[in-house]
Every structure is written in structure tokens, then in C-alpha cells.
Amino acid sequence: MLDIARPNPPVLEAIRGFAEESLAAVAVLQGAALRLTYCNPAFSAAAGRPAEALWHLPLAEAFPALLAGGQVGRLGALLAGGRCHQTARLLSCGPPGRLWDIEISPLRGLEGGGLLVQLREAPERPPEVAEARYRTLVDSVALVVWSATPDGRLLFPGDWAALTGQPAAEAAGWGWLAALHPEDREPVRRQWGQALRTGALYSVEYRIARPEGGWRWTVARGVPLRDAAGEIREWVGTNTDIEDRRRAEAALRASEARFRTLAEAMPHLVWQTDARGEPEYVNARWQTVTGRSLAETRDGGWLAALHPEDAVPLAAAWGRALAEGGECDADLRILCVTGEYRWHRLCAAPVHDAAGVLRHWVGTCSDIDARHQAEARLRHALEAQDALVREAEHRIRNSLQLVASLLRLQAGRVTEPAAREALEAATVRVQAVAEAHRALQLGPDLRSLRLADMLRELAAGATTHHPGADIRVEAPAGLILDADRAIPLALILSELVATALRPGTSGEAGAGEGAGSVRLTARVAEDALLLEVSGPGSSPLSGVDKGLGATVIRALAKQVGAGLTSGRGAGGRVWVALRLGLGD
């Protein structure tokens, strides 16, 4: 019920919004007199009186029995202190004999302050049922159940004697302290005394004696039982075993101590983060090398210790590790207090507990600057060596070209046909070696070449001796040949091309376009490299097995393990093929 004659505070309107349909009895008490400024239908029904009869009455006037029981005074203290309070039962609210669970919370926004009261009827249970449930509960979790007088004198059952070996008569009063570990007695006495003075919950961990010797960790908890006036009638409590938990905690502390000792002794930068990746430990070496404290590494501050080129990729890699729960491994440069960047190897791994839950990340940064410097020097040396070898190859090719030119010049001055022919053949062979070296320079490295490059170089060289010749090359771009076999094969192919281009073949009529051409092809067939030179039907290739050229071809083919075959194909064209195993 609200006062509709004047505007109501927003807090009352909000309470009414949820309370009108609530099954719980809800009321608002306002001001020092604790006047009932609102109660919902459930509260009116519980009180057995209409809302109009309760509205704006002081609580003591509406329910005199609460005043006699001292409960009104305690509610006033709650209002003054602004604290939340909850008690198990409230008597004499409404019809006699009914029990209520009550929850009380302070309200702001009301003149003079206010309290929100919610009542829920507590079902009665026979005392023997409640006692049985109580005993079953405590027996399942506690080593011993105890009680104490309001002034703190403890009364132990026989379980205490069985647990500690101390007779019950000796444990009575304050004698039970003698069964505690000497180091724990005085702290426990002080905390128990504090609980007795304040009436607050008592909870303390201590060691008790074992009958067979030694000590056992327990946690003692006690709560005060109060009468209707709020006075403490007695204390009840339990001692629960926590030996396993204490052992586990001790083992964890020892493990952490070992980790810290190892981390501080290691010559690496060692760090640890929580499950989210937030730093929670860095060793002394990290701080010495980087000049950054643990606080300065948090909230992404560790990125400032990295080289700008490494910070972004490492942040991305670390983010993936956090998301996937996997390891993180990377090389990076760390800024040292000396102002220089040094290369480090970062290795980070997740740490899980026994249940498989990720708890921490542990990582190290190991100085590998010397290794990186050595690798850089090696790369520079290899690059210099490669440049030197390529320069040497270039000079070798130029020298061979010079020799070929001299031979060609000499051949032009010789009038004897046989001598001129020999010099021209020597020129072609020297030129073929130069072209193979040129292909090596164009290759991926100086130990191998692309076969298509070598065939094009041979064709270009042949046209210098036979201007206007139609030489066609066909080879896949990915075919690679090692240098050891490249030069002998270049000489063989050069001999065959030169033979195919001898006088008597040019201008020959053919069955179609290119019938008079010389073709130089390479392909892979049945796990072997097949190189073929073909020419028109009247080509001297049909007599390639005669003369010095034939001797050179057979000797070089034997050297590289190539098989030689020849024949006549479509359109009457003749061909000579070399078959070379790819695994040779």
C-alpha cells in the first residue's frame, strides 16, 4: 500500500513493481519510528490485518509482541548502522505460533532512512527430525563437535579424547589448549577471546596432537546461538580435518620455492604469467638485462622491450598461443639497458593443474645473439662466395667465347677443306661449353641449371655458325640438370645440332610448316630424361655414327650414363635420342 495523496519516492515505486505479485511478505519500514509505509498483499495476509489498518503505523504499535521481544530495538540499530541483517526465525509476527524466515536490507532514498523487510514462512519440523539431520550432517564432515558456555569454557564429548588422546576432564574449560601445538596456542587463545567479545563467527586453523604422536591440522569453526533477546546462550562448533589440504599447500609452496630458486639461478630471462597472459613474475636477470620491473611489464608493457619489427609479429603469435593453449616459440630482439638490441629465443608453455585447467604460462628468453651474428657472417660469406663463383663463371664463359672466336678466325684463313672443317668443329665444341656455363649463370645456383636455358643457349650459339637456320626448342621450364652432367650433354647436343645443320638440308620441302627445321626437345618419360635432336629426312643425322663427331658423342654419352637411339619418324624426319636416368 502506498500513500496516493502525495508523490511517492522512486524507490517505493520500484519495490511495489516487484512486490505486488510476490509470494513473499514484503514491507517497508521508514524513519526512526520504523513506520510501515508499504506492505504488499502477502504481508497483509501474513499479519492477518488489512493494509489500510497497518499503513503508517510504527512497527511497535502494529506488532507489540516484537517490542516486548526486543526485536524492534535491533531493527532500529540496523537502520542506524546501514547494515544488512538476516536471522533464521522471527516469532510473534501475525497469528500466534507461526515462524518466519526474515531478511532485512537498508534502503536509501527515503526520508529518515528505511528498511526493506521480506518474510517467508518457515515450516516447522519435529525437534527429533531436526536433531537427526544436524547430527548426520556434522558427523559426515567433522572430526569432533563441541559446545561452549557464553564465557568461552569449552565442553568436549568423548570424541575429543579419541582424537587427541587428551582426557575429556582435562579438556574442559580452557584445558583443551594443552592439546594444541605450542606454536598455535597463544594465537588461538587470542582469536577465541576476540570472538567471545564481539559475538562474531569464530574460525581458526591449528594443529592438534595425535594419540600416536605427531600433529594433525584442523580448522575450528564456531557460531553463537542467541535467545529471543539476542543474548548468546551458547556456542556450537566443529573441528574439521584439513591435513591433506595443508600438505598440498606446503607441497605447492615448496614447488614454487624450487621454481623461484631455479629461475633466479638460470642464465636466462625467466617469466611467468597468469592464465590470461598477464605477467605475474619476472626473475632478477630479466630486470637486470632490460631494466624493467614486473609492474612495467604488465598491461602490455613488455612489448616496449622488443624491437619494433619484432613486437607486432610476436604479439600475434602470443595471442594465438593464448587462444589455442599451445606453445609459443620465436626469435626476437630485446632492448637492453646498454641501449643495444640483442637476439633472444623465446619459449613459452602452458601449465595445467591436475584437472587439466590452464593455470599459468612459463617462459624463458635465451640470449642467442652470438649465434645470430655467426649466422649473419655465414650468410654474408656465402653471398660473397656466390658472387665470386658467378664472376668466375662469367670470366670462364668469356674466355671460352674468346677461344671460339680465335678458332673461327683461324678456320676462315685455312684453305685446306679438311683442316677448315676440323677447326670449325672445334669452334662449335668450345662454343657449346661456353653456352653451358652461361646456362649455369642463369640457373637457381651454380651447381645446377634449367635444361630449357641450356637448350636455348645451344640454339642461339648454333645460329651464329648457321645464320638463318630454323632451330626450334621445346623443354618444360621445371626440368633441372646438375652441372656435372650438363656440360657433357651440351657437347653431345651441340654435335648433333651441328650435324643436322650441315649443308644439304636447308630449303628441303616438307610435309608441313617447319618440316625443314631442326628441333631440340627435352621431356620426362618413364622416370627418365629424354633429349632428342631431329631434322629433315635428308639430314646427315642419319649418318651420325661415323667420324670424329660420332666418337665424341659415344664417349660423352658413356661418361654420363646416357643411352643413344636413332630412327625415322613421321614425315620422314630422322632423330637421335639420349635417355638419361633421373636418379643417376
Per-residue pLDDT tens over the stretch 272-290: 999 999 999 889 888 889 9
Average pLDDT over residues 198-204: 90
Query: Which residues, at least 6 apart from 557, have a Cβ–Cβ distance to it below 8 Å?
Result: 492, 563, 564, 578
Same domain, 453 and 516: yes
Residue 1 lies in a domain: no
Q: Answer yes or no: do 561 and 413 share one domain.
A: yes
Give Cα separations from 251 to 244, 255, 358 (angstroms).
10, 6, 19
CA dihedral of 256, 259, 260, 263, whole degrees rounded to 10: -160
For 362, phi then psi, to 5°, come to -120, 135
Give the pLDDT of residue 564: 83
Residue 184 is assigned to a structural domain of this protein = yes
Within 10 Å of residue 166's Cβ, how many Cβ atoms?
Answer: 20
484 domain residue, yes or no: yes
Upper half-sphere CA count for residue 83 (Cβ side, 13 Å):
8
**Distances from the Cα of 442 to the Cαs of 19, 379, 480, 481, in angstroms?**
90, 21, 12, 13
- pLDDT reading at 507 higher than 60: no
The three-class DSSP label of residue 165 is coil
Do 398 and 543 sit in the same domain of this protein? yes
Q: What is the pLDDT of residue 389?
A: 63
Answer whether residue 193 is part of any domain: yes
Mean confidence (pLDDT) of the chain: 78
Q: End of a domain among 121, 155, 170?
A: 121
Q: State the pLDDT at residue 499.
A: 79
- Give the range among 1-10, 249-258, 375-384, 399-408 with minimum mean pLDDT: 1-10
Same domain, yes or no, for 189 and 297? Answer: no
CATH number at residue 389: 3.30.565.10
Look at 324 and 565; give whichever has higher pLDDT.
Answer: 324
Residue 181: pLDDT band by 50, 70, 90 thresholds? Answer: very high
pTM summary value = 0.41
386 and 339 within one domain: no
Q: How confident is the model at residue 124 (pLDDT cuts 50, 70, 90)?
A: low
Q: Is 100 in the same domain as 150?
A: no
| 40 and 143 part of one domain | no
Cell (9 digits) for 388 = 665470386
Most confident segment among 162-171, 301-310, 446-455, 518-527: 301-310
In a domain, 208, yes or no: yes
pLDDT of residue 88: 40
Whether the pLDDT of residue 104 is over 60: the answer is yes
* Residue entry with cell 646416357: 562
Residue where a domain stops, chosen among 214, 241, 268: 241
- Do 196 and 136 share a structural domain? yes
Could you give the strand order of the β-sheet that contains 114-121, starting from the edge strand earlier in sequence? 35-39, 25-30, 114-121, 100-107, 85-90
Q: Note down the domain range covering 509.
A: 376-581
391, 510: one domain = yes
Would you say residue 296 lies in a domain? yes
Residue 55 corresponds to which amino acid? W
Give, in degrees to the nearest 5, the angle at Cα 377 between 375 and 379. Answer: 70
pLDDT for residue 192: 92
pLDDT mean over 53-74: 74
Helix runs in 299-356, H state only: 308-324
d(CA 235, CA 202): 10
Question: Which residues in 293-436 belong to E strands, given as ranges?
Answer: 328-335, 341-352, 358-367
Query: Of 223, 241, 259, which marks where a domain is finished?
Result: 241
If you count DSSP H runs as helices and E runs as strands, how many of each does the chain have, helices first? 19, 22
Residues 257, 225 share a domain? no
Answer yes or no: do 357 and 387 share one domain: no
CATH of the domain at 31: 3.30.450.20
Residues 202 and 260 in one domain: no
Q: Which position has the higher pLDDT, 66 or 151?
A: 151
The residues, any chain, with a CB within 8 Å of residue 517's CB and separated by 6 or more, are 470, 471, 472, 535
Number of domains in the chain: 4
Q: Does residue 183 have a pLDDT over 90?
A: yes
Q: Dump pLDDT digits (tens) for 259-273.
A: 787 778 778 888 899
Q: Is residue 236 part of a domain?
A: yes
